Structure 1
Amino acid sequence: MTELRARVAEKLSAETGSTVTSFEPLPGGHSGLTYRADATGGNVVIKAVPDGQRAVGRHDMLRQASILTALAQTDVPVPRIVAVDDQEPAWFAMELVTGESLEPVLDDPAVEPGLAARRMRRAAEVLPRLHRVPLSSIPGIAEPLTPADELARWARTLGAVPPELVVGGDRLLRLLEADVPDAIDPTLVHGDYRLGNIIANGIEPVALIDWEIWSAGDPRVELGWFFLFADGTNFPEVGREVPGLPRSDELVALYSRNGPALPDLTWFDALGRLKMAAIMGHNLRRHREGRHHDPDQEKLPATIDRLIITGTALLTA
């Protein structure tokens, strides 16, 4: 941390004339290192590649900085990039945005239910801004992922989890594979769009954060994932029920605003459940193998079961 602080201090001094007065790690990040740097020219958040890690995938800080830079020219609320250092290990600094980013069904402290519902509705209304960004305006964007591509990606993740940790996952996967929807026009996709990744001032989103897995893809993948967090019953033992959260059909209506109907949303709802079950199964496996000891992971089986059962029910109703 000492070396990174020195690099940040030198860069901010040279490019902004700002002096770093404190430098502390921020808790909660899972992809890369995250720090808060207080500075005379304005406080910033630093995202850096962990020591010994390659700057690829979730650790590709330059890729994250590039999408934030591109979106600064749009109406998508994102933090402003302050500095980028492409020397390995790479890092970037973005403005520290004041507000609250909490997932109502998962995070502590609990969000007042009425406020949680209003934030979720507003997030559904703001999401089209992201999906309207022209893909041609994003430098270096890869070929869009189709629904089949997404399913194949998560099938690999599920396949790496011992079957006894994701009981019924193979059946849910077969049901999804049996009726993959045709792709619609691709959009820019955040990849983890939910209230836990949105800094809000009251109900208004002021910064969409955590851009580790952005891509071009099917916007319905984004919606299917967003739906998960509108129902606390999806997360027994690890989450909470929040009364009054909007149902998925209301979120779709707010997103679409009388636009054309989005087909096959039930399939994408089920896909979101498979994705979360696969992620949780992967985390539980790592814990039980001793690769990342975290006793809280033992709370996951009930949620994994719930996600697989309800995802299967969606496709067999």
Structure 2
Amino acid sequence: MTAPPAPPAFTGWLGDRVPGLTPPLRLARVGAGQSNITSLVTDADGREWVLRHPPAGAPAGAHDVHREARVLRALAGSGVPVPTVVAEGADAGGIDGPFYVMDRAPGAPLVDESDASACTARRRRELSVETVEVLARLHALDPAAVGLEGLGRPTGFLERQTARTVRNWAAWGEGSAATPAWEECRRRITATVPRQQRTVITHGDYRLSNLLVRDGRITAVLDWELCTLGDPLADLAWLLDDWRSPQEPAIVIPRPTRAGGFATRTEIVDAYAARTGLDVGDLDHYCAFTHWKAATLLQGVLVRRRSGSMGEHGALDLRSLQDSVEHLLDGALRLLGR
């Protein structure tokens, strides 16, 4: 199916900034992301770029794509593979609000079990190792050395994330049947907060579906909109939440590791601890926090899907979304010792 033509204004805008671009352009929504909108831009010669912008109706300051572009520019050449930003704009080229365009990096993400099944068992193991290596490499960067020392406050990461999660649930959770479990999670999570061992650049959504892979190797890390200065174990816990085995129940967001053949969670944790030297003794608390935060974010997806602001692309079953919110909260309570 041929992608629809891009608006003429956007073709002219990008043509002024990308040498050698050959009109006409075509623009097609891609990915199953539930936050910023991602579209593939293709010119008449088959060259490709990626356009990122917030969904229609997003509040000013939310889904800060220009901040994401700043992170990508800063990480270029750092040893953490990222796409190259080629242009940024706002309310231009026929696109409302802020946006940026980056080169399309080679490779494809492992979004679900079928993508993972296409990889050999050996490549799944190798990818497991490299996934930890790239995360550890990110966490080893000196924020000041790459110009990101002002990306966030250096301390109190979990406390700030907790406060944001509470605000988000207040906005999205009204009338939810999951509120009692959510409140009990909040009470237990805030009762004892682990000491932050280091302040690092955190990705915020580090998982296989945000990694481009070619021939079993990671070619780019995508979706940096949640990147900040924070606690490295929060990033590790987020990855572990995504790293589900074939024996675990599926939730509404696909988990490619359920195809099997990947390293176990224990192996991931051991490799990360060996690479970073961090104490992972409080990891269950971080994993519980991750479940609680993920449940809150899925509640936001549920609200946006009900409102229609995300359109039909990547649509999720609303009942499955609700079930996943409840499943994640139940998992958090188990980790917290219900």
TM above 0.5, yes or no, is yes
- Structure 1 counterpart of 2:73: 69
For the residues of structure 1 that align with 2:13 and 2:233, how far apart are their CA atoms?
43
For the residues of structure 2 that align with 1:52 and 1:288, how far apart are their CA atoms?
14
For the residues of structure 1 that align with 2:217 and 2:163, how far apart are their CA atoms?
35
- Which residue among 311, 329, 332 is the counterpart of 1:308? 329
Which letter does structure 2 place at the counterpart of 1:168? A
1:17 aligns with 2:20: yes
TM alignment of 1:1-317, pairs within 5 A: 5-28=8-31, 29-39=33-43, 40=45, 42-49=47-54, 53=58, 56-58=61-63, 60-85=64-89, 89-104=97-112, 109=115, 111-112=117-118, 114=121, 115-136=123-144, 137-139=146-148, 140-144=150-154, 146-159=157-170, 160-161=172-173, 162-231=175-244, 233=248, 235-236=250-251, 239=254, 241-257=258-274, 259-287=277-305, 296-316=317-337
Q: Is the 8 A contact 1:193 1:225 kept in 2?
A: yes
Q: Is the 8 A contact 2:197 2:278 kept in 1?
A: no
For the residues of structure 1 that align with 2:69 and 2:308, how far apart are their CA atoms?
33
For the residues of structure 1 that align with 2:298 and 2:159, how far apart are their CA atoms?
22
Structure 2: gaps of 5 or more residues = none
Which piece of structure 1 moves more, 208-217 or 191-200? Answer: 208-217
Which letter does structure 1 place at the counterpart of 2:271? L
RMSD, matched Cα: 3.0
Q: What SS does the corresponding residue of 1:90 show, helix, strand or coil?
A: strand
Cα distance, 1:273–1:53 mapped onto 2, change above 3 Å: closer
The CA deviation string for residues 234-281 of structure 1, in whole angstroms up to 9 with x for no partner, is 534665743344332211222233524234111101111111111223
Which letter does structure 1 place at the counterpart of 2:104? L
For the residues of structure 2 that align with 1:198 and 1:119, how far apart are their CA atoms?
10
For the residues of structure 2 that align with 1:66 and 1:264, how far apart are their CA atoms?
32
Which letter does structure 2 place at the counterpart of 1:235? A
Which letter does structure 1 place at the counterpart of 2:21? S
Task: Report sequence identity in percent.
Answer: 25
Shift of 1:167: 4.7
For the residues of structure 1 that align with 2:5 and 2:259, how far apart are their CA atoms?
42
The CA deviation string for residues 37-64 of structure 1, in whole angstroms up to 9 with x for no partner, is 2235942112235566555231x22212
Shift of 1:316: 1.1
Q: Is the 8 A contact 2:53 2:65 kept in 1?
A: yes
Which piece of structure 1 moves more, 275-284 or 180-189? Answer: 275-284
For the residues of structure 1 that align with 2:53 and 2:303, how far apart are their CA atoms?
27
Q: Is the 8 A contact 1:133 1:187 kept in 2?
A: yes
Q: Is the 8 A contact 1:147 1:182 kept in 2?
A: no
Structure 1: gaps of 5 or more residues = none
The CA deviation string for residues 9-33 of structure 1, in whole angstroms up to 9 with x for no partner, is 4443455232233221223343343
Which letter does structure 1 place at the counterpart of 2:139? H
Which letter does structure 2 place at the counterpart of 1:146? F
For the residues of structure 1 that align with 2:109 and 2:20, how far apart are their CA atoms?
30
Q: Is the 8 A contact 1:31 1:212 kept in 2?
A: no
The CA deviation string for residues 173-221 of structure 1, in whole angstroms up to 9 with x for no partner, is 2111111112222111111000010001122110111111111111111
Count of aligned pairs? 314
Q: What SS does the corresponding residue of 2:185 show, helix, strand or coil?
A: helix
The CA deviation string for residues 92-112 of structure 1, in whole angstroms up to 9 with x for no partner, is 22111221212345xx55634
Q: Is the 8 A contact 2:81 2:221 kept in 1?
A: yes
For the residues of structure 1 that align with 2:152 and 2:36, how far apart are their CA atoms?
22
Cα distance, 1:291–1:16 mapped onto 2, change above 3 Å: closer
Which piece of structure 1 moves more, 234-243 or 60-69? Answer: 234-243
For the residues of structure 2 that align with 1:56 and 1:46, how far apart are their CA atoms?
18
For the residues of structure 2 that align with 1:10 and 1:288, how far apart are their CA atoms?
34
Which piece of structure 1 moves more, 166-175 or 127-136? Answer: 166-175
Normalised by the size of structure 1, how large is the TM-score? 0.85
Q: What SS does the corresponding residue of 2:336 show, helix, strand or coil?
A: helix
